[in-house]
């Protein structure tokens, strides 16, 4: 059975890809969402707590 920690790690890593590509293409960081980083931090913290 697949461990939920691996799924969480994969999703939190992949979540950055669209934002990173857009920032690299446009060279504009004003569109970076604080809410995305808050959600990412909560997700990573949750994954860390599971071991």
* pLDDT classification of 1: cutoffs 50, 70, 90: low
Quick: pLDDT tens for 20-49.
888 899 999 887 778 777 877 877 777 666
The 3-state DSSP class for residue 2 equals coil
* pLDDT classification of 12: cutoffs 50, 70, 90: confident
Domain ranges (residues) in the chain: 4-50
Mean pLDDT of all residues in 12-22: 82
The rounded distance, in Å, linking the Cα atoms of 6 and 34 is 24
Say whether pTM exceeds 0.85.
no
Helix H, strand E, coil C: the string for 3-45 is CHHHHHHHHHHHCHHHHHHHHHHHCCCCCCCHHHHHHHHHHHH
**Residue 11, φ and ψ in degrees, nearest 5:** -65, -40
């Amino acid at each position: 059975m697949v461990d939920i920690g691996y799924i969480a790690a994969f999703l939190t890593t992949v979540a950055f890809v669209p934002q990173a590509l857009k920032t690299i293409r446009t060279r504009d960081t004003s569109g970076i969402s604080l809410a995305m980083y808050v959600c990412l931090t909560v997700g990573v913290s949750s994954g860390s707590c599971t071991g």
